[in-house]
Structure 1
Amino acid sequence: MRKSVLIKMVGVLSLVVSMVVGCSTPNETTGNSGEEKIRVTTTIAQIKDVVENVGGDLVAVDSLMGPGVDPHLYNASQGDIQKLSNADIILYNGLHLEGKMGEIFEKMAKDKPTVAVGESVPKEMLLSDEQNPKYHDPHIWFDIDLWIYTVETIEEELSKLSPDHKSTFKENADAYIEQLKVMKEYAEEQIELIPSDARVLVTAHDAFRYFGNAYGLEVRGLQGLSTDSEYGLKDVQDLVKLLVDKKIKAVFIETSISDRSIQAIVEGAASKGHTVTIGGELFSDAMGDEGTEEGTYLGMYKHNIDTIVSALK
């Protein structure tokens, strides 16, 4: 089984890389047939990646938030407003991820489809914010089963805008979902390499609860679901105690957040006589640079799995 999944993973990632490097079109607004593309503006790159996989040559996609950008604190620029205005459809995560853009989405929704793809996930499958139970955890892309709902929603929305290409969108979506399922198999297999008592994932903010639920890891973030939340000395002390008591050897920084808070935990553990290393950098709210493997959803996901497993096993 392990060899089979690894072979599948090689095939999936080879396809991803070839799409990143080789996917070119005559221009930004027309496809190979010369017909006008659907203009899509997304907030986060994870959604852009889905649109590109489902829409292929029939879409032209802009993402407002690039590598290293924190969507919780993001304020739209004038250029962003222009991109939103020019779009045929706007796709955002919702669930309060883009916390400072709610009013903009309300205004745009009066003129064009403006869809919170994350809100297509059934409510009973969403995790509540422990600090504010009336809100849900927005980081749904870390559970592949939940992320598939967004793929299906995007397929439906593109089909509404271009009914003549409905079968193409469906075929593309089905193929992409199969790739996602292969990635889930790979993740399950790799996490098994971590000793059960070492399956503790400590990061700067609480973005990985869906990931933890999916693969059986205890997840602790110094800050809450949003990087807008505050943390104090007691939060640091509690995490240090957890690391010392469970003899956890690594914690992780995030590409979109300062590593200062995690350094405080490392230093706190050292003061207790326990050595904790920085296990690596994870992609949480943002993906990698465009044109790289980590700039795709599948590549980002595999990077996180491999980094976590390498540091904790």
Structure 2
Amino acid sequence: MTSRQPASRRRAVTAVATGAVLAVGVLALASCASPGASGAAGERGPSIVATTTQVGDFTRELVGDTAEVTQLLAPAQSAHSFDPSAAQLLALADADALVINGAGLEGWLDDAVSASGFDGVLIDASTGIELYGSDDHDHDHDHGDDADAAEDDHAASSDDDAHDDDHAASDDHSGHDHGDGNPHIWTDPELAEHMVHTIAHGLETVPGIDAGAVTANEDGYLGKLEALDDWIEENVDTVPVAQRLLVTNHDAFTYFIDAYDLTFVGSVIPSFDDNAEPSAAEIDDLVAKIRATGVQAVFSEASISPKAAATIASEADVTVYSGDDALYGDSLGVAGSPGETYLGSQIHNASLILESWGVTPSPLPAMLQG
């Protein structure tokens, strides 16, 4: 049987809490520097570290050239199996802030923080986002309400008392909440807007940060994310709901599927974790679902071996999207690839999914071109 999402769009969103910033350590990395970063941190403003490729991209968009941004994870590298090197752990001493995806994605984080003994600002981008798998709540795809909430939170973040409260929280060195749901929140552009707002609010509390630049960059980038969301929705809406079928490499696209009212037929790896392996029975079951539902394609992911996806597609006699046509799931792509940035990865993913349904996407909005 087909595994369907609810007919109404569900949004895993709650208001972004002003307590999104918890100070639990200072972290710096000697490797994976952001493009163009050079010289001592003092010459470039504060030193900011991001764990994953997605939050690294968000953070670079927000600080521009006013701070140095480094990230732990390399492009096409999975966060699920990451293990910091000894050299990276030794480098966890000089940065002013650490930006994480949160939601339990970085299971290795607490050990890294403990081993490094850092004491700076931790910004958890998942704060205020309700995870699938933890509770069963209905959420609506309502840009207006979410935009208003973000504006209210942003206004509060500029208040001196709010900043004092955030700094007061930096005395709390307790561990952060990993959550127990699906951590792939960035796959929904609207949730990405919440992540960006949370990161921006946190960065504004970092000593030495150019808060004015962060605010201006946030406003511009949120406009692009909203344009992306609108563009995807407009194109998906040209496809009858019953034909919006998707099979992916692993269960990383729940929030994207829910945002645009798709039917998730199944995944090659039936898990949030891309390191899991499907059993023979699970493969047979997915092939049967593909045949029964009329799915036309199986999507591999750029950071995962396409072999299992190709095998299932072959057995079901459907197209496999792999190689340059794989989706960007757990990680953004390498420099020069369509998925080098978050915006590029989402445009790439949506375009290929639409193509698999026989739809030629409409031209991108002007602010997303180039």
C-alpha distance in structure 2 between counterparts of 1:242 and 1:25, whole Å: 48
Instruction: Spell out the pairing of 1:3-82 with structure 2 (5 A cutoff).
Output: 27-29=38-40, 35-82=43-90
**Larger mean Cα displacement after TM superposition, 202-211 or 229-238:** 229-238
Please list every run of 5 or more consecutive structure 2 residues that lacks an aligned counterpart in the other structure.
1-33, 136-178, 359-370
What do residues 199-219 of structure 1 show as CA deviations (whole Å, max 9, x unaligned)?
Answer: 111111100000000011122
Is residue 318 of structure 2 the alignment partner of residue 276 of structure 1? yes
C-alpha distance in structure 2 between counterparts of 1:266 and 1:84, whole Å: 44
Whether the 8 Å contact between 2:121 and 2:206 is mirrored in structure 1 is no
Query: Amino acid of the residue matched to residue 186 of structure 2?
Result: W
C-alpha distance in structure 2 between counterparts of 1:25 and 1:288, whole Å: 18
**Which one of 307, 312, 321 corresponds to residue 260 of structure 1?**
307
Whether the 8 Å contact between 1:62 and 1:83 is mirrored in structure 2 is no
Aligned to 1:222: 268
C-alpha distance in structure 1 between counterparts of 2:70 and 2:96, whole Å: 11
How far the C-alpha of 1:179 sits from its partner, in A, is 0.5
How far the C-alpha of 1:167 sits from its partner, in A, is 2.4
Change (3 A) 1:183 1:29: farther
Instruction: Spell out the pairing of 1:1-313 with structure 2 (5 A cutoff).
Output: 27-29=38-40, 35-108=43-116, 110-118=118-126, 120-123=127-130, 126-128=131-133, 135-162=180-207, 165-219=210-264, 220-223=266-269, 224-269=271-316, 275-279=317-321, 280-313=325-358
How far the C-alpha of 1:36 sits from its partner, in A, is 3.8
Identity of aligned residues (%): 28
C-alpha distance in structure 2 between counterparts of 1:129 and 1:262, whole Å: 28
Equivalenced residue count is: 277
Structure with a larger share of its residues in strand: 1
Query: Amino acid of the residue matched to residue 182 of structure 1?
Result: A
Q: Which has the higher contact order (CA 8 A, sep 6+)?
A: 2
SS of the equivalent of 1:197 reads: helix
Change (3 A) 1:234 1:25: closer
Please list every run of 5 or more consecutive structure 1 residues that lacks an aligned counterpart in the other structure.
1-22, 270-274
C-alpha distance in structure 2 between counterparts of 1:266 and 1:86, whole Å: 48
How far the C-alpha of 1:79 sits from its partner, in A, is 2.9
Structure 1 consecutive aligned stretches of length 4 or more whose deviation exceeds 6 Å: 23-26
How far the C-alpha of 1:47 sits from its partner, in A, is 0.7
Change (3 A) 1:129 1:308: farther
Change (3 A) 1:111 1:168: same
C-alpha distance in structure 1 between counterparts of 2:103 and 2:129, whole Å: 12
Whether the 8 Å contact between 2:89 and 2:115 is mirrored in structure 1 is no
C-alpha distance in structure 1 between counterparts of 2:87 and 2:299, whole Å: 33
TM-score normalized with structure 2 length: 0.69
Change (3 A) 1:97 1:164: closer
**Larger mean Cα displacement after TM superposition, 45-54 or 194-203:** 194-203
How far the C-alpha of 1:301 sits from its partner, in A, is 0.7
C-alpha distance in structure 2 between counterparts of 1:46 and 1:70, whole Å: 11
Whether the 8 Å contact between 2:46 and 2:209 is mirrored in structure 1 is no
The RMSD of aligned alpha carbons is: 2.4
C-alpha distance in structure 1 between counterparts of 2:312 and 2:35, whole Å: 45
Whether the 8 Å contact between 1:236 and 1:264 is mirrored in structure 2 is no
C-alpha distance in structure 2 between counterparts of 1:153 and 1:55, whole Å: 14
How far the C-alpha of 1:265 sits from its partner, in A, is 1.2
C-alpha distance in structure 2 between counterparts of 1:160 and 1:28, whole Å: 23
Whether the 8 Å contact between 1:253 and 1:278 is mirrored in structure 2 is yes
SS of the equivalent of 1:160 reads: coil
**Larger mean Cα displacement after TM superposition, 204-213 or 81-90:** 81-90
Query: Amino acid of the residue matched to residue 286 of structure 1?
Result: S
TM-score normalized with structure 1 length: 0.81
Aligned to 1:14: none
C-alpha distance in structure 1 between counterparts of 2:311 and 2:236, whole Å: 27
Change (3 A) 1:221 1:172: same
C-alpha distance in structure 1 between counterparts of 2:263 and 2:342, whole Å: 23
